[in-house]
Amino acid sequence: MRIHVTDRRSWKRCRRKHLWQLEGLQPRDRAVTGPLWFGKGIHVGLEAFYKGEKPVQAWVDYVKTTLKADGAQVDQDKLMENNLLATGMLQGYAQYAEKTDDFDEVTEVEQEHVLRIKGTRVDLVCRWDMVVKRQGGLWLVDHKTCDRFTDESMIEMDDQFTAYLWFAREMKRRYGYGTVRGLLVNMLRKKIPEPIPLLKDGSPSRNKSLECTPEDYLQAIIESGKDPNDYEDMLNILSLRRYYDRVPAMRSERTLDIFGERLTYELREMSSTKSFPYPTYSFMCARDCQYLPLCRCVDEGGDLQFLIDHTYLYEKERH
């Protein structure tokens, strides 16, 4: 049985939801331009960028392909908003990467690896966004789109990053894969700099909620003929207004050892034919679970198959 590293997250969140996801069950009227769709498109653009291709064109191709394949009605206003945001994010990232990338070499981009996990009948699949040579060793890179940057304490506890680093260590032990020193969380904020409003005298607005870079603001000051020293407070505020960030994630050998022991038990349960797909209820169900009507139907003894046939599709039926 093949299980992807990322499958573990949905399985631990809710066994029942995980099962329906594996079956490819999707609501007939699901929004095709939601956060997951957007994030995947940004990943496609970044993959193209690090392969020496055009990231914005990769996004455009992704939109055309996914919307055509899905065949659902699309909110055109939302689609236009997504296009403007994605284009701005990818163009801005190219400028950010030119100044920030300290990679000696990009060795892998979206390459799949498989490990048979001892003591189980599972082939664990892992696909890192990137692997780069940096500071004398290899580093994994994981791209994240976010409304605000993830706190370092949360990154320290993120189970998926631990899984990636454990997998890399096992690759070295079994196959002589290079030494991976850590993982870089490459975050792209879902926001782009906006035009700077000008006052009647031509000077830039002092609105502290402005979304712009300090470089753009300084240029606006200079063009208005004002003294930058008079705007020191604004420049200090805007210096914290970041749109891209990278944070390293490291794990000790002891942490990886414990993770490996726990992983064996998880995969045994995930692959067992006797494992019961019980639900895990929480306040998040009403917010982000597309299977909530099915869950309620099961628990109330309704006609589950009738509900599936009339309000859901299996992913393969969309194409």
Residues 115, 174, single domain; the answer is yes
The one-letter code for the residue type at 29 is D
* Residue in 154, 240, 149, 153 with CA at minimum distance from that of residue 187: 149
The pLDDT, as a whole number, for residue 318 is 46
pLDDT recorded at residue 317: 52
Mean pLDDT value across residues 211-239 = 93
Structure token digits, residue 203: 């000077």
Give the domain-ending residue among 212, 241, 270: 241
Count the alpha carbons within 13 Å of 234 in the hemisphere toward its beta carbon: 25
* Distance from C-alpha of 7 to C-alpha of 22, rounded to nearest angstrom: 9
For residues 22 and 127, membership in a common domain is answered with yes
CB proximity list for 317: less than 8 A, separation 6 or greater: none
Give residue 269's pLDDT.
93
* Helical segments of the chain, H only: 7-13, 15-22, 35-50, 55-70, 76-100, 152-157, 159-175, 214-223, 232-238, 253-271, 285-288, 292-299, 304-311
Residue 15 token pair: 């066994």
Separation of alpha carbons 192 and 169, rounded Å: 37
Residue ranges of alpha helices (H) inside 107-249 are 152-157, 159-175, 214-223, 232-238
Helix axes 35-50 and 76-100, enclosed angle (nearest 10): 40
Q: Is a pLDDT exceeding 90 seen at residue 59?
A: yes
Which residues touch 23 (CB under 8 Å, ≥6 apart)? 314
Quick one: 91 and 229 in the same domain?
A: no
Residues 118 and 265 placed together within one structural domain of the fold: yes
Where does a domain end: 224, 241, 258?
241
Instruction: Using the Cα atoms of residue 25, residue 30, residue 33 and residue 36 in order, give the sign of their dihedral.
Output: negative
- Asked if residue 319 has pLDDT above 60, the reply is no
Domain identity same for 70 and 174: no
Q: Are residues 76 and 128 in the same domain?
A: no
Q: What pLDDT does residue 241 have?
A: 87
Q: What domain range includes position 274?
A: 2-27+103-191+243-318
pLDDT of residue 72: 58
CA–CA dist 158, 2 (Å, integer): 23
Stretch among 53-62, 245-254, 287-296 having the lowest mean pLDDT:
287-296
Q: Residues 181, 259: one domain?
A: yes
CA–CA separation, 13 and 17 (whole Å) = 8
12-55 residue pLDDT tens: 999 999 999 888 898 887 666 778 889 999 999 999 999 999 99
* CATH number, residue 166: 3.90.320
Instruction: State how far the Cα of 145 lies from the Cα of 89, in Å rounded to an integer.
Output: 10
pLDDT of residue 131: 97
Same domain, 9 and 132: yes
Taking only the tens place, the pLDDT of each residue in 272-286 is 988 898 999 999 898
169 and 270 belong to one structural domain: yes
Do residues 297 and 168 share a domain? yes
Each residue of 65-113: pLDDT tens digit? Answer: 888 755 556 778 888 999 999 999 999 999 999 999 999 999 999 999 9
Q: Contact, 83 vs 74, CB < 8 A?
A: no
Taking only the tens place, the pLDDT of each residue in 117-142 is 999 999 999 999 999 999 889 999 99
Question: What is the predicted pLDDT for the residue at 314?
Answer: 84
- Mean pLDDT estimate for the chain: 92
* pLDDT of 289 over the 50 cut: yes
Q: Is residue 179 helix, strand or coil? A: coil
First to last CA, the chain: 26
- Nearest CA to 228 out of 238, 218, 241 is that of 218
pLDDT tens, residue by residue, 172-183: 999 999 999 999
CB 160 within 8 A of CB 6: yes
